[in-house]
Amino acid sequence: MYDYLIVGSGLFGATFAHEAKLRDKRCFVIEKRPHLGGNVYCEKMEGINVHKYGAHIFHTNNKEVWDYVNAIVPFNRYTNCPVANYHGKLFNLPFNMNTFYQMWGVTTPEQAIKKIEEQKAEAVAKMKGEGVSEPRNLEEQGLCLVGKDIFENLIKEYTEKQWGRKCSELPAFIIKRLPMRFVFDNNYFNDQYQGIPVGGYNKLIDGLLEGVDCKTDTDFFHSKFRDWRKYAKSLVYTGPLDEYFNFKFGRLDWRTVYFKTFVVNTPNYQGNAVINYTSHEKPYTRVIEHKHFEMFGQTVYNYPKTVISEEYSTEYKEGMEPFYAVNDEHNNALADQYRQLAEKEVGVLFGGRLAEYKYYDMAPVIEKVINYFK
């Protein structure tokens, strides 16, 4: 008899198992995929750690969390500085003075602010002319936040590819704000700490799960462990919230992504880990060159080949991996119904983005588990 049966070996499940083991609790982790680690799993190709389920960059302002993960595996100094490609023209992200110079040739914050405010005013005036005081959809919201040029070049079509819907059909609340920096700074995150585990995320997962009993290729719902009380005192569930209750109120919607991964016979394909393709001209949303997460300077050229992944956003269908909760009114109301059921489950803890139907970065997941045990 285990203290905890943990369904899922992603960051929530693995961190929970680690913390429980530190308290002399017996844990058994089951994972339906053929590998541990959930979406942070890395696959080795051409000597490169390939982020199999998309780019994962660890970032946090919480020193306790940063020290926690670094005590398991040291993290490198990778800084996330993505680039946007719009019809072959490159722009730095996030929106900063480099972006504004590339867009308009402005060289001072004052010039950039003036340009943006002029375009925002045009958007507001157009709405007022139509008798509207508040943005009715994401397109109007975006135009009011950043103006026409940035919205149409860097946001509109990229967002439409991500959501599979026109911006004019998406609710305005999806983007409450769009951060703009009036300094020449391409560091995407404002967090004090960021990096990638040296040797890849598998090192972090292996460290968290060291000494813990684990079983892969095991689907909770189609295994003997569905009757979990025979095996453990408590259940930690990190799978989809609606699936646990056999879709009693109907299915929650998800967005998901899939990848086409290629080995390229060159040491340096695009010169950056992540390039976003912000127009409909390319069907994928971004291209990831995995080498640049862990290799810097001359090391890039010590490996004659590179590995790239094209990332495609699509509507979730059964059999796919669910990635992102769809936070519209219908799904939020449905998720609340399931959450009420979850609160009544005795001996079951629901945790992580799938079980909570909520978007999480990596650090807050770990922080949540640490706080739970506190």
For the chain, how are helix, strand and coil distributed in percent, rounded to 5?
A: 40, 20, 40
Say if strands 48-51 and 42-45 run parallel, antiparallel, or are unpaired: antiparallel
* Burial of 128 (C-beta count, 10 Å sphere; 0-12/13-18/19+): exposed
Say if residues 207 and 71 touch (Cβ distance below 8 Å): no
Whole-Å CA distances, 139 to 151, 208, 356, 365? 8, 43, 29, 31
Q: Active-site positions?
A: 177, 181, 255, 286, 311, 359, 361
- Other beta carbons within 10 angstroms of residue 367's beta carbon come to 18
Q: Give the dihedral of Cα atoms 156, 162, 166, 171; nearest 10 deg.
A: -90
Nearest to 289 by CA among 305, 210, 135: 305
Distance CA 38, CA 35 (A): 8
Distance CA 31, CA 27 (A): 13
